[in-house]
Amino acid sequence: MLGEPEVKDLDKLQLPDNGPMTVTVEVEVVPEFELPDLTGVAVQKPKLDVTDAQIQEEVMNLRKRMGKMNTVTEGSAQTEDFLLVDLRILEGENAQAEAPEIAHHPGTYVLVTGEDKQFKGQVAGIAIDELGKTMTGKKAGDVVSISITGPAGHEDERIAGKPVTLMMRVDKIERIELAEVDAVAKQMGMETGEALVTRIRESLEVAENAPSARRCISS
C-alpha cells in the first residue's frame, strides 16, 4: 500500500442504530510487474579518456601545494602572488583616508587572480570584480582604493548595500616557489616524476570512469 487510505464521502457517513455498515476506502497499491530476463544482455560502458592537460594541471597543483612561499623584495605583483595588505573599509564612494572607518583588517591576504578566474577575487570575504587586474603591478608600499557597493547579505549593516571604499596598503608581496616534480614524487613515496605522472593518470582514469559505470547501472 502506498500513501494514506482515503475514505470516500466521509462527511456523508451515518452510523446505523444496529446492523452492518458499508464504507468505501480508496488506497494506492504497488503495481505488480515482472522484470524481463537480462541474462546475456551486453552493457556498453563508455570509456572517458584522460588528457595530458588534466595530468599537467594535477601536477601543477601538487607543485604549488608542496612549494614554499618567498617574499618578493624586487619587482611588482604578478598573477597568483599573495599580497599582505593593511585593509581599511571606509564609508562612501571614493572615500579619502580621513573618511569614517567601518572596519580595519591589518594582515589581510589578497590573491592576485588571473584570466583563468576572470580576474575576480575576494578581499575580507567581499567579492571584487577585476581584482587581479587592479593588484597586478603593485609594489610594497603602494596604496590601492577600490569603491564598491557592499554585498546585500553582508553581516555589517554599514556595509550591506552601501557605497564603501576598500583602502589597502600593500605591506608585502609573497610568491610561491614551485616544488620540483621529482621532489614531489619522493614526498609521495615514488622514485621519479615519471612514476608520479603515471600514478596521477591512473587515479584520474578511475575518477573519470566511475561516474560512467553508475550511469550504465541506472540507465
pLDDT one-digit tens code per residue, 81-135: 999 999 999 999 999 999 999 999 999 999 999 999 999 999 999 999 999 999 9
Number of structural domains (the chain) is: 1
Integer Cα distance of 81 and 142 in angstroms: 15
Mean pLDDT split into 10-residue runs, the chain, 219 residues: 68 71 75 79 73 92 94 95 98 96 97 95 94 97 97 94 97 96 93 93 83 47
Give the pLDDT score at 40. 78
Any domain includes 111:
yes
Give the pLDDT score at 10. 66
Any domain includes 75:
yes
Question: Could you give the C-alpha distances from 30 to 3, 16, 26, in angstroms and in order?
Answer: 10, 34, 13
Any domain includes 46:
no
Any domain includes 4:
no
Integer Cα distance of 162 and 151 in angstroms: 8
Of 151, 152, 150, 155, the C-alpha closest to 165 is 150
Any domain includes 167:
yes
Any domain includes 154:
yes
Say which residues have a Cβ less than 8 Å from residue 176's Cβ, sequence separation at least 6: 64, 67, 68, 69, 70, 80
Helices (H), 66-113: none
Say which residues have a Cβ less than 8 Å from residue 212's Cβ, sequence separation at least 6: 45, 46, 47, 48
CATH number at residue 132: 3.10.50.40
Any domain includes 8:
no
Query: Is residue 123 within 8 Å of residue 135, measured between CB atoms?
Result: no
Any domain includes 26:
no
Range(s) of the domain holding residue 107: 68-177
Give the pLDDT score at 48. 72
